Amino acid sequence: MEGTLVKAKGIRRCAYGSALWRVLIIPTATVIAVPALATPAQAVPTRTVSGNAILRIMDYESVGENEVCPRNIPLDFRDIKLGSHRHVGFSAGRCGGEIRVEIHFTLEHDQVGFIRVTNGLVKFFEGATTSTLDLDGWNTFPNILLLPGVEDFRNIHVQNTAEKQPNDKADVKLTLRNS
């Protein structure tokens, strides 16, 4: 019976039930074959995450005054595709010629419109220069779920724990917006 057609309410299908093609018989004896699963191509949905990182970095000095360095860094991450994971890491601020603060996290576009901020980490480096690789402190921050049009923030404190110098420190306010 392979190749024979079965009629059901004006639509004929192959006997083995193929749903890929259907044949429509029009009373004027014209036969039209139409793909059953034809859909228009759709663009992959994307989101933009913007916001800022506000830092207050302090470099402890044993002689003289401590140096305080405020920073405000605008953030803008565009075209985050549905199903993607974008790893973000940047030097957020330097202070006193010897301190560098880095912010790291991952943006995940898991569902249409929802952005998850995961793997949040702030690193504190102190050495002879701001390009040092001497990691003296770090702190993680909790995940953030950003619904469309929503803004959220995290306050993160990090300090020099390796050399037991709590006055070498940074306070970070990370604000992110899903738009």
What pLDDT is recorded for position 160? Answer: 95
What pLDDT is recorded for position 18? Answer: 46
Nearest CA to 168 among 57, 70, 78? Answer: 57
Q: What is the pLDDT of residues 14-72, one digit of tens each?
A: 444 444 445 545 455 444 444 444 344 557 789 999 999 999 999 998 888 999 999 99
Extract the runs of DSSP E, i.e. beta strands, from 27-84. Answer: 30-35, 46-59, 67-81
What residue type is 170 in one-letter code?
A
Q: Which residue has the tokens 């102190």?
A: 126
Q: The whole model's pTM is what? A: 0.74
What pLDDT is recorded for position 61? Answer: 87
Q: What is the pLDDT of residues 91-116, one digit of tens each?
A: 999 999 999 999 999 999 988 789 99
Q: What is the pLDDT of residues 126-163, one digit of tens each?
A: 999 999 999 999 999 999 999 999 999 999 999 999 98
